Amino acid sequence: MFDPISRRGFVGLAAVAGAMSVTRASWARQTPAPAPAPGSSAGSSGGAGSVAIGDVFPTTEPALAREIVGASHANIDRVRELLAEDRGLALAVWDWGFGDWESALGAASHVGRKEIAELLIAHGARADLFALAMLDRVDAVRAVCEAMPGIQKVRGPHGITLMRHARAGEAARVEEYLTALGGADEREPDLGLEESSAAVYAGTYTAGSARFEVKQSRMGGIELLREGGSARRMSRVGEHRFSPVGAPQVEVVFVVEGERAREFAVVRGVELMRAGRVVG
């Protein structure tokens, strides 16, 4: 078990906060106060000039949200630093692509990092079924599954099953319960792709100024990467049709001529975009 936050921990956080002359929130940047205009009173600005707001104020800086989600997979020291800067980052989520949303707590949960998960919860992260499973809270998991039959089949970030969360945390009681319940380890459909077939789709594609690379994935099949973004591995769901892992609601459909794809379309109910292969 863990305490939401110990008195000692609270005092430590308060000391850090008190030592900071200006709190640097995730959506604000500390800057020198501008010189007062000629003829104006030095105090007329009310001190507001000491902080310049970011471009997305009052929304959290996306780079910080992405950083804490990434760090929550393994780097507890960096997570502590970020939470000391902005406690609200405990609630941060990031879309890795195509609607594959992951929270900081979700990141810690699917890799079994209990100490990071507990730290995030102590700072206000909202415990969900996946975190409870990883932390071996079997009574809570049972209560949710009984209240909402079939919920054990819902997958977490990257299509990771509830059972795999329990295994990541070595949560023996939850694993035993889910095994008896059934349906907690059903993965996303994937017909598989022969290594030689990946070459049909591999290449560079463009849509306007956006540039995409399709290549063979080290984990099997193919992956799609927008320049400057994160590679998304794709499961084959039909002939020349793929779904990004963690986003089964999306399909990437390739148009193939002969032994080579000439374009692909991204479809989510309706076509969202189409990209053509770069010749050469």
Give strand pairing partners of 234: 222, 244
- Both 176 and 91 in a single domain? yes
- Answer yes or no: is pLDDT of 278 > 50: yes
Task: Give the pLDDT of residue 219.
Answer: 87
- Answer yes or no: is pLDDT of 48 > 90: no
Name the pLDDT band for 142 (thresholds 50, 70, 90): very high
Query: Of the candidates 181, 214, 238, which is a domain's last residue?
Result: 181
More confident residue, 29 or 203: 203
> By residue range, what is the domain housing residue 155?
55-181
- Both 101 and 66 in a single domain? yes
- Both 204 and 173 in a single domain? no
Residue 67 C-alpha from the chain's centroid: 10
pLDDT digits (tens, 9 = 90+) for 75-89: 999 999 999 999 999
- Both 238 and 168 in a single domain? no
pLDDT digits (tens, 9 = 90+) for 215-269: 999 988 999 999 888 899 999 999 999 999 999 999 999 999 988 999 999 999 9
pLDDT digits (tens, 9 = 90+) for 151-164: 999 999 999 999 99
- Answer yes or no: is pLDDT of 5 > 50: no
Tell me how far CA of residue 166 lies from CA of 6, 70, 261, in angstroms: 27, 20, 40
Query: Of the candidates 181, 215, 240, which is a domain's last residue?
Result: 181
- Both 71 and 111 in a single domain? yes
Among 12-16, 28-32, 47-51, the range scoring the smallest mean pLDDT is 12-16
Looking at residues 195-219, what average pLDDT do you find? 94
Determine the 3-state secondary structure of 184 from DSSP: coil
- Answer yes or no: is pLDDT of 24 > 70: no
C-alpha span between 62 and 30 (Å, rounded): 18
Domain total in the chain: 2
Name the pLDDT band for 30 (thresholds 50, 70, 90): very low
C-alpha span between 159 and 173 (Å, rounded): 23
Task: Give the pLDDT of residue 51.
Answer: 61
Instruction: Calculate the average pLDDT of the chain.
Output: 86
Name the pLDDT band for 55 (thresholds 50, 70, 90): confident
Consecutive H or E run containing 236: strand 232-238
pTM of the model: 0.79
